[in-house]
Amino acid sequence: MKITAQEEYGLRCIIQLAKQKDGEPLMVRDIADREGLSIAYVEKILWTLSRSGIIESVRGPKGGYRLTRPCSEIFIGEVMRALGGIPSSEEICGQFTGNHETCVHHGACDLEPVWASITDFVNSVFDRIPLSQLLQGKLEVKMVQLTPKSQANLVG
């Protein structure tokens, strides 16, 4: 699994917005300063997030960006998908085709179920974590201990 810079910085930017009291807008330059990013890059990230409906821009002298819903209703999975998301097994398989247009194992790949299981697991973790839980500073993601039976269920 690979997390892109846009996904990492996007999550950090949206956390800045989630920390705002009473949904007050936050200016791009303030987010950029707090996160050590360029204003242009933060603008690009916020534009992407606003297109998804997670945040909105507010005009005026006290304008900026704010969340469109309470942070308890916005999950990391939604943010990650807006920013690019975890690649699906099809995307992973489409990247590694060797010298061919499509993978030589297309349609009969022994690895595809592995990539699909990993992708599903990562997305399910992201979809269970609301922004509000990140703000509490007590996030504890419990890893599932796999037994032989649960391994068979994961793959089968």
Does residue 111 fall inside a structural domain?
A: yes
DSSP string spanning 3-31? --HHHHHHHHHHHHHHTSGGG--B-HHHH
Does residue 102 fall inside a structural domain?
A: yes
To which residue do tokens 């204003």 refer? 39
Q: Are 84 and 7 in contact (CB under 8 A)?
A: yes
Does residue 129 fall inside a structural domain?
A: yes
**130: three-class secondary structure by DSSP:** strand
Residue 146, both tokens: 């796999």
**134: three-class secondary structure by DSSP:** helix
Number of domains composing the chain? 1
**Packing angle, helices 112-126 and 76-83, rounded to 10:** 120
User: How open is the CA angle 83-70-61, to the nearest 5 degrees?
Assistant: 80
Does residue 152 fall inside a structural domain?
A: no
Residue pLDDT tens, the chain, 156 long: 678 899 999 999 999 999 998 889 999 999 999 999 999 999 999 999 999 999 999 998 888 999 999 999 999 999 999 998 777 767 776 766 677 676 666 667 777 778 788 888 888 889 999 999 988 876 666 655 555 554 455 444
pTM of the model: 0.78
- Domain extent for 132: 5-147
Does residue 143 fall inside a structural domain?
A: yes
Number of residues assigned to the chain: 156
Does residue 25 fall inside a structural domain?
A: yes
To which residue do tokens 């330059």 refer? 29
CATH at 116: 1.10.10.10
Does residue 134 fall inside a structural domain?
A: yes
Does residue 156 fall inside a structural domain?
A: no
CA distance 153 to 156: 5
